[in-house]
Structure 1
Amino acid sequence: MAPKQAHVLPDMEELSFTDSELDYHVRNALKAAVQGDCDFYNQLVAVMHHKDQLVPEEVALLVTCLKALTGAVSCIHIVHHQSLLAAIFGMSLWNYGTDVMDALVELLISLAASSGDYVDLCLEMIVSNFIPPPSSSSYFIELLKQPRGLAKKGQVLDCLHSTLKDIANLVPLSPLRLEKIVRDRMPNIYTKEPFIVIYVENMLKLESGAMHELVGSTMLVAIMDRLIDLDVEIAWDDILQDDFCKGIFDMELEDLEKTDYHVQQDGDELTRESFIQRFLGGNLIAEKLDSLMVLTFEHLTSCSESGRLIQVFETLIHSFQKTVLTAYKSKFTQFVMFYACSLDPENCGKIFASTLLEIFVSSIYPEWRMSAVAYLASYLARAKFVSASFVAATLESIVNWCYDYCKDQDGDLNPRAHKVFYAGCQAIMYVLCFRMRSMLSIPRLKSQLLLMRVENILGHPLNPLQVCLPSIVEEFRRLAKANNVFTVPETFVDYGLLESECSRAFGGVERLDMFFPFDPCLLRKSDRYIRPNFVYWSMVRSTYDEDDEEEGTSDEDIADASENGMNIVDDGSARNFGEGFLDLDEFDTSLDKMSITPRDSSSKYGGGIRGFMQMPSRIRPSTNPESL
């Protein structure tokens, strides 16, 4: 018997062999490994592992070997060649130039098309390349801050997604397998910010790419779920607590005018800038959430420009109902819906409001109904792009439900038993605090408002004025009296107490009575997308504000502004700040101006009895510390 011929890898430094010769050696090595002869096979595996600082000759050899393997995929066995497959699937495109990247993805495509055994392995390898290799995380974090790093990222991502498209063309069922892999491998909330952002960027590329009809909805739902995961992890235990000498509109910290009034906490002066720095500065979870929301906002903008927004919004609204609406700790994620609505008020905006209204009047779950009407009230109050006529129509639907509810009740004042009704009443008063004047300035809407049975509801023996938040009740009562539109009885709240026992009981443990989801967004980068379409309380001109006469606002001016849904002062706040940051020099604002409630300067808190009855402070977003 002739001696067995040894198969040796040609010397890498003497590249005199041809591609066809190497193809021959590679095929023989694969076949020999099945028979137990692994010398040349092991050298081939070593070439796949070699990736650090490759010289041009080594790059050429690696490219040639990858191409040879592509032509010999029929010889690759999933059991006998496990070490080779592990080496191939362990390669990272981030470590190589375009020649190696192209050869590697060509091999992946051939493997996926050759056998169903390799499809998941190839897809997992591609998805693992959505982010740079963890072993070099520090290097890539710094690299991605530089132009060449961003160029590298663009090359890798384009290569990955073109490969996924090619595999989908050859293996039609691969997108369905891909969506589970992407979802399962999604980085957790503790992943470093640049990597989780890049991963989500890849998910959004899938949503808008060639496979969006197959995987797009899954990507959006997974992203919304991760936003909520980040959102609820942000701890607000140390943030300013509600006290009833500060109001929901006192502490919005949003006005862009000069101020000589500052919040005091623990003896320290606290402006908006110092507040954000103290409670959000250095908060890694908040920074990740902020970056991901900006990425999502940009994607929605792109969808709007391409005419796909309404299709995407259908997925978002379903995801919102399943995750955001039921997450009472949500602080910022809901602004994805707000921003999407601002891009298309006529379609998305109305769908959002109608969905919330339907949940309020029809759902069988009281907590969902309370949350829905709180979202609806906050949306109608805060969205500058919602017309006054739409607000009036939606408000009338809430009023009608509450009126019909009253007709079936005998007046048993039980906050827990009637909490959905009280949530509806509070929503009515909250919206009117923001929108009453804009509706009254338009004759048609004024007539519609006066025909609503608001007085019948508020005067019913169920006594919502005693159960709803005293601060909201008192603001509404003052506005109604100043505008002479409703006869609202004085409330029975003991002004010496922070809140009545009935009000304290309303809402149960979750205290959803305290929930105003679209309070000002405190995330630095996200806020610049929301601000141009957001109504801050300082922008609402109350009729008892003495500034009206000083500034000479005419009825014509009011009517013109009302056509867009709000009476606001153009204070320049609806501007788009550059580079992803709010202008912190302008954060030092007049918090005193932000209240619609006149202050008694003789009071310790600048409010006297009225000071205790202002709207509850929302300096921290849309939740209460007790529920955290």
Structure 2
Amino acid sequence: MGVELAAETASSYGELENNVNITDSELVFHVRNALKAALEGDSDSYNQLVGVMHHSERLLPEEVALLVTCLKSLNGAVSCIDVIHHRSLLAAIFGMSLWNYNTDVMDALVELVISLAASSAQYVDLCLDMLVSNFVPPYSFLELLKQPRGLTRKDQVLDRVHLTLKDIADLVPLSPLRLEKVIRERIPNIYTKETLITMYVENMLRLESGAIGELVGSTMVVAIVDRLIDLDVEIAWDDILQDDFSKGIFQMELEDLEGPADDLHDDGDELQRQTWIERFFGGNLVAEKLDSLMVLTFVHLKSSYENGRLDQVFDILLQSFHKTVLMAYKSKFAQFVMFYTCSLDPENCGTKFAVTLVNIFESSAFPEWRMSAVAYLASYLSRAKFVSASFVASILERLVNWCSDYCKNQGGDSNAKAHKVFYAGCQAIMYVLCFRMRSMVAIPRLRSQLFLMRIDDILKHPLNPLKVCLPSIVEEFLRLAKSSRLFTVPENFVPNGLLESEVSMAFGGIERLDMFFPFDPCLLKKSDRFIRPNYVYWSMVRSTCEEEDDDDEEGTSDADVAEVSNGSNRMRMSNDFDRSIGEGDSELDDDFDYSLNKMSISPKNPPSFWLGGELRYSVKMPSRIRPSTSPESL
């Protein structure tokens, strides 16, 4: 609208506003006449009305009053609005941003939007789209949001948006279904400014926990997880870490890092830890957006737990995990939403998550799903400090039983691809034992349970998992097996050292399924503080192992060792098994520093061990497991 039209509008409608004797019904009558005249070809009054709707910036008090008057009058004349003939008016109304007006205009506008939605189904999507568009401000407001008055405006706008969505849902029962679609279509892409995408997700989470959460909450959760995955897979490890596959999976954690990581102290220097993480993701805008969104999600999950709503949120998360996260290519951090949720309620959520994973491994029709599920399971059981040793043992027993049953029906063909699900299960068993064996053998009941699992039978089977699974995991497992004297090793087994054989490399193919442990340390600097208190770092396990190895070397003699025979299995069990090396059923000591500061470099003089009666080599131990990648074939 030009200046002249605006002047005419102000004159025409201003006369009505300044006439204190005019009633609301007369105002409505005037607007109705303008709408009807437009249908008959007389558009003067109609165009003036549309011009008023376009007033938005730096309005004078009389212009504000005029706009409020027209909005209220339209509210009383919605039945006269025609979706075809009054398109320009509707476009002006739905193009208005609440962020541009004071509270009087906001209130009049949302009342009109509610009336339009209730008057006809053809307006519902337009009304919902207009409201959802106000989840984020115009670009011109981004700087203002850093000021108190900007935050005040934000609260004024969003409070009205969510209340209006609730009012429309009450008046139009099917509107929540339409709202879900609108929100999914409008969700910012991964290249949107961090402030805008963060604010949009804030509103999605507010909907999930709000008055219409029961109607739209599940969609909000799923959509957020999908966006986390989109951001996650966009982060390229090739630009951050260069994996050297000639080294063992355990060794990649700190040995190749220089600079700040080498200076981390046991007393826990948070600034140095942040500096170390900054080395990976400093300036990576996608990682920073993902980090911010995960923090928002973590805070929301904690609030849900405190309000007694975590169960229903977790059930949705679990479904989303199964459909999306489980098979996401190179998912690095988004899965920690599940980890954190489980840490809030280990008995319920934590148990459900593990049982779901083992069920997928045992019964899914798709090998790739089964392999991914057991990798998630192994990583979760190994890294979750809140998972008890007894629960780990019970899940481990299910894996062992499945692998044992598989062996009974197989010959000796070590075809890595043909038996890849079996080898994935075996590798998961050994991986979990690398982290948990010490805490389990410290408890007599669990030590006996481990012995009765007959893991030896699987290792000695002609399928020979020790030669197919990742050598660094096999080596660490064998070192602990020798130390615990729980398992015997096939006498004809000759380890590959840190080099892989062709059959081992065939397991998972060039996309390295054998390297996929999804709960490797989280390298997002803001999200990490939520994960760290409940997370087991490899350095914690390694430091305990070193202390125990030193004690064994000093205090164990031949007289302390008894031969225990059980059929074809023979195991050497030390009398000092009853010595406490853990905390019973509790996890690693709470005095551990849960930061990367505790990550020590591999010991200079690792112990040698015997295989098949011959001293083979010394195992160089890892300090922290490097970030994982999942196979592209998935």
Tell me the TM-score normalised to structure 1 length. Answer: 0.86
Q: Is the 8 A contact 2:246 2:499 kept in 1?
A: no
More divergent stretch after superposition (483-492 vs 86-95) = 483-492
Residue by residue, what CA displacement relative to the aligned partner does 1:302-360 show, whole Å, maximum 9, x if unpaired? 11111111111111111101111011310001001001111111111111000100010
Q: CA deviation at 1:183?
A: 1.0
What is the CA–CA distance in structure 1 between the aligned matches of 2:624 and 2:241, rounded to whole Å? 9
Q: Is 1:561 aligned to 2:583, yes or no?
A: yes
Match of 2:463 in 1: 462
Alignment of 1:58-207 (within 5 A): 58-133=63-138, 137=139, 139-207=140-208
Q: CA deviation at 1:250?
A: 4.7
Cα distance change of structure 1 residues 65 and 474 upon mapping to structure 2, 3 Å threshold:
same
Cα distance change of structure 1 residues 547 and 58 upon mapping to structure 2, 3 Å threshold:
farther
Q: CA deviation at 1:510?
A: 3.2
Gaps of 5+ in 2: 1-7, 265-271, 555-575, 609-615
Match of 1:9 in 2: 12
Match of 1:572 in 2: 593
Match of 1:582 in 2: none
Q: CA deviation at 1:197?
A: 1.0
Q: CA deviation at 1:149?
A: 2.2
What is the CA–CA distance in structure 1 between the aligned matches of 2:131 and 2:170, rounded to whole Å? 16
Alignment of 1:487-502 (within 5 A): 487-489=488-490, 491-495=493-497, 498-502=499-503
Residue by residue, what CA displacement relative to the aligned partner does 1:9-50 show, whole Å, maximum 9, x if unpaired? 234798345453433322221121111111121111111111
**Residue 526 of structure 2: SS of its match in structure 1?**
helix
Match of 1:622 in 2: 628
Q: CA deviation at 1:486?
A: 1.0
Cα distance change of structure 1 residues 195 and 609 upon mapping to structure 2, 3 Å threshold:
farther
Cα distance change of structure 1 residues 559 and 494 upon mapping to structure 2, 3 Å threshold:
closer
Q: CA deviation at 1:147?
A: 2.9
Gaps of 5+ in 1: 1-5, 264-270, 575-586, 601-607
More divergent stretch after superposition (286-295 vs 500-509) = 500-509
What is the CA–CA distance in structure 1 between the aligned matches of 2:617 and 2:64, rounded to whole Å? 79
What is the CA–CA distance in structure 2 between the aligned matches of 1:573 and 1:104, rounded to whole Å? 52
Q: Is the 8 A contact 2:261 2:273 kept in 1?
A: no
More divergent stretch after superposition (13-22 vs 359-368) = 13-22
Q: CA deviation at 1:71?
A: 0.8
Residue by residue, what CA displacement relative to the aligned partner does 1:254-276 show, whole Å, maximum 9, x if unpaired? 9xxx999479xxxxxxx865553
Q: CA deviation at 1:548?
A: 6.2
Cα distance change of structure 1 residues 596 and 439 upon mapping to structure 2, 3 Å threshold:
farther
Amino acid in the other structure paired with 1:545: E
Amino acid in the other structure paired with 1:310: D
Q: Let me know the Cα RMSD of the aligned residues.
A: 3.1
Q: Is the 8 A contact 2:32 2:80 kept in 1?
A: yes
Query: How many residues are aligned here?
Result: 584
More divergent stretch after superposition (280-289 vs 83-92) = 280-289
Alignment of 1:62-461 (within 5 A): 62-133=67-138, 137=139, 139-243=140-244, 248-250=249-251, 252=253, 261=262, 273=274, 275-461=276-462
Amino acid in the other structure paired with 1:592: I
Q: CA deviation at 1:494?
A: 3.5
Amino acid in the other structure paired with 2:84: V
Residue by residue, what CA displacement relative to the aligned partner does 1:120-158 show, whole Å, maximum 9, x if unpaired? 11111111111112xxx1x32222223332222222111
Q: CA deviation at 1:249?
A: 4.4
Match of 1:591 in 2: 600
Q: CA deviation at 1:589?
A: 5.9
Residue in structure 2 matching 1:55, options 42, 50, 60: 60
Q: Is the 8 A contact 1:19 1:64 kept in 2?
A: no
Q: CA deviation at 1:383?
A: 0.4
What is the CA–CA distance in structure 1 between the aligned matches of 2:188 and 2:280, rounded to whole Å? 25
Cα distance change of structure 1 residues 32 and 515 upon mapping to structure 2, 3 Å threshold:
same
Amino acid in the other structure paired with 2:196: F
Q: Is the 8 A contact 2:600 2:623 kept in 1?
A: no
Amino acid in the other structure paired with 1:117: Q
More divergent stretch after superposition (12-21 vs 299-308) = 12-21
**Residue 365 of structure 2: SS of its match in structure 1?**
coil
Amino acid in the other structure paired with 1:591: S
Tell me the TM-score normalised to structure 2 length. Answer: 0.86
Amino acid in the other structure paired with 1:356: L
Alignment of 1:30-45 (within 5 A): 30-45=35-50
